A and B are shown apart, each in its own frame.
Chain A
Amino acid sequence: MSVMDDRTPEPGIVLTEEQKRRRRARSIAIALTLGALVVLFYVVTIVKLGPGVLNRPL
């Protein structure tokens, strides 16, 4: 076996439960914001183009 395999892996940064909870809340907020932007762009596209959104050469 190599020397590297004998080393104990370093734990690195271990998040506390509170840190995990807040990171999760931030991630959910970003996801909701991105989702809202997708809906906004979709609705504005329909409003601006109306039925014309389908009017294009095939």
Chain B
Amino acid sequence: MSLSQSNEVTGSFVRVEPSLASVGDYVALMKPRVMSLVVFTALVGLVLAPGQPHPVIAFTALLCIAVGAGAAGALNMWFDADIDALMPRTARRPVPRGRILPGEALAFGLTLAGGSTVVLGLLVSVLAAGLLAFTIFFYVVIYTMWLKRSTPQNIVIGGAAGAFPPMIGWAAASGGIGVESILLFLIIFFWTPPHFWALSLCRVDEYARAGIPMLPVVAGREETQRQILLYTLVLAPLALSPWLMGFAGTAYATVAIAGGGVMLLLARRLRGQRGDAEEQAAKRLFAFSVLYLFVLFAAMLVERTGGMPLGGLG
């Protein structure tokens, strides 16, 4: 028997029995995989920033950023429960599955959002807390509530939310916003469209059924492939900027050139493909894009923590 059922009159989820939600359901509500990438990029911003904070303060900052990201995920699942239920990729999430009621997800998300922001502001940095609050607001209100269902540019603009964490980490460590942290922001910002559109090319029918105006649904597969290539053409040279600016070394530059080259190759190979060949090419690009971003940031982290020489043209 289902623990909750869709109310036919209101369309809302109504529980008919006491909760069977496990701790794991609440963890899933925080999108732990997204959270791990957020924490990692925030850590890199924190380590690269001038003025290293005490390890306990750094840990507190990362914890608050992780919880803030989890809050944004929970609020996203609260609002999107109706469309999540329509797509196989998201139908097993706790709210559409009936494990957690939308109201419970809302309360959980708001509590975490408020708690993480206040604790970050009180214990680490008011600027970092402000950025974290803005990021949660941007992801939940601007992306989830507004852009996602109204424009094919949803993940382009909404991608800013995922790009803020290194800037928050930087602010937590230095108390300011440097040009370097803006570059880290831009790298993730221009990485998001090729990454997400590659995934959406494999899920066009799902998005169409749920009424989400993703680019391939609205503008077609060919235009999506073209835009993926265009964004990758901006991303690959942009990823070299940390080395050009002198806050990343030759090891990073090597990784950025090689990774950018593979990204361009995969984006180029995707163009003109149809059917199974397109799906395979899109899946390869999607998988490599995750590795690419991880390796870029890991290279910066290793160089800085390992005391390796930094580059730059100046």
Contact = CB atoms under 8 A, between A and B. Distances in A.
Contact of B56 (A15, A18, A43): A43
A6 B23 CA distance: 42
A47 B54 contact: yes
B62 to A, nearest CB: 12
Given A25-B23, A26-B23, A44-B123, A19 B18 contact: yes
A22 B22 contact: yes
Contacts of B18: 13, 15, 19, 23
A12 B252 CA distance: 64
A40 B20 contact: no
Interface residues of A, number: 15
A4 B122 CA distance: 55
A44 to B, nearest CB: 5
Contacts of B20: 18-19, 22
A40 B22 contact: no
A22 B57 CA distance: 34
Interface residues of B, number: 14
A25 B24 CA distance: 10
Contacts of A47: 54, 56-57
Contact of B23 (A13, A29, A40): A29
A26 B21 contact: yes
Contacts of B23: 25-26, 29
Contacts of A43: 56
A23 to B, nearest CB: 7
A41 B26 CA distance: 24
A40 to B, nearest CB: 7
B60 A44 contact: yes
Contacts of B57: 44, 47-48
Contacts of B52: none
A22 B21 contact: yes
B37 to A, nearest CB: 23
A29 B20 CA distance: 15
B121 to A, nearest CB: 13
A15 B19 CA distance: 9
A25 B60 contact: no
Contacts of B54: 47
Given A19-B17, A22-B22, A26-B21, 4 more contacts: A19-B19, A22-B19, A44-B57, A47-B54
Interface of A: 13, 15, 18-19, 22-23, 25-26, 29, 40-41, 43-44, 47-48
5 contacts: A19-B19, A22-B20, A23-B18, A29-B23, A43-B56
CB-based closest 8 A-B pairs: A29-B23, A47-B56, A44-B123, A19-B18, A25-B23, A47-B54, A22-B22, A43-B56
